[in-house]
Amino acid sequence: MNETSSSLCTIPVYLNLCASSKVLLLVPGFSLNIFILASLVSCLLSQRSKIRSNVAMFILGSTSCNLVNLSLWPMTIHWKQHGRWLLGSRLCDLMVSAKHLTSSASFHYVSFITFSIYLTVVCGCRHLVNRRAFLALQLLFPLLPVGLKELTLWLLRSHVHHLDPVNLTCFSFINDEAMRVLLMVKTVVFVPLGLYFYAHILHTIVQSARLMHRSQRGNVQLAKVFSLISLITFTAHVPGAVFALMDHSSVCQETVRDLLLDLPLLSSPIILLCMNKELRNQSLLLLRRYPTSHHMEKKSISKTEEQHKNLTSGETDVTQP
């Protein structure tokens, strides 16, 4: 049982403020992820789009996990508004497990897009990336860490109960040492590894352009994109993970922690747009669904084709593995 009686947050105004913040973030969170999903569907239905199947599956997996996680927010908002959890222990455990699973999977799906680009550009393993067995492994792996953790604890009958029945608080991380370890692995291993992939990809492209005496203008733009992705990744993931590793948690700390750990649900769609040019172009087409003239639409399509041509020649970004 969670022992929190000595560290309860007894400030209703604070909890209501956190609940209001969740409400304000819920609408843009849903909007961004649904927009990414609509852009992906539009890409797949478009005859001119050349988005690869592995990238499409990663985007679908990440966005779906974000939407499932966001759909659980009303429970948290209900808890914060009432100052106590009124939905029962089973629903508390189910919500926390689903949030852990979807948050972890969404992060790793985005990471595997970078890994696929790395294998394609740096290692020259395009055929490996396109194999169905490799794709299936990458799609299943993000679900394994939290899934195996939950299964192991259930088999050992040592499942962590996230509800404090005395104070009626539903915690995500208090007394859950396994999740702390997984968060530490993500922060210490996977985030720096992703940044290394970006740097090595960019170095490989720059060296290739120098050997072939090509312009570095496209690579400068690519460096800016990778820098933006790295900044967003650190800003969204590191503060929440560090806060989650702190001991002696209280309701107040849990509330702040919950908000910080949910920030990637809003940053992930932005990273996906930065990483994939096909998705970005299709998003622009959706925003301009009713162009002022047919000429503008043709110009946009021809620009996309020109970008694909540059991509195959190695002059522009390679975020389409």
Tens-place pLDDT, residues 185-227:
888 888 889 889 988 988 888 888 787 777 777 778 888 888 8
Least confident of 1-15, 39-53, 101-115: 1-15
Structural domain includes residue 318: no
List, for residues 121-132, the tens digit of each pLDDT value: 888 888 888 788
- Domain tally for the chain? 1
Angle between helices 53-71 and 12-45 (to 10 degrees): 150
pTM higher than the cut 0.85: no
Q: Which residues pair with 163 in a beta bridge?
A: 170
- Find tokens 């800003």 and name the residue: 235
Q: Is the pLDDT of residue 179 over 50?
A: yes
Residue 209: closest CA among 306, 70, 123, 316? 316
Structural domain includes residue 200: yes
b/e per residue, 118-153, with b = 16+ CB within 10 A? bbbbeeeeeeebeeeebbeebbeebbebbbebbeee
| Identity of the residue numbered 235 | T
Structural domain includes residue 46: yes
CATH number, domain containing residue 64: 1.20.1070.10
Structural domain includes residue 6: no
Q: Which domain holds residue 158?
A: 11-313
Structural domain includes residue 2: no
Cα–Cα distance, 37 to 31 (Å, whole number): 10
List, for residues 39-95, the tens digit of each pLDDT value: 999 888 887 777 887 888 889 999 999 999 999 988 888 877 777 788 888 888 888
Cα–Cα distance, 14 to 8 (Å, whole number): 12
**Residue 248: per-residue pLDDT:** 57
**Residue 1: per-residue pLDDT:** 42
**Residue 249: per-residue pLDDT:** 61
Structural domain includes residue 1: no
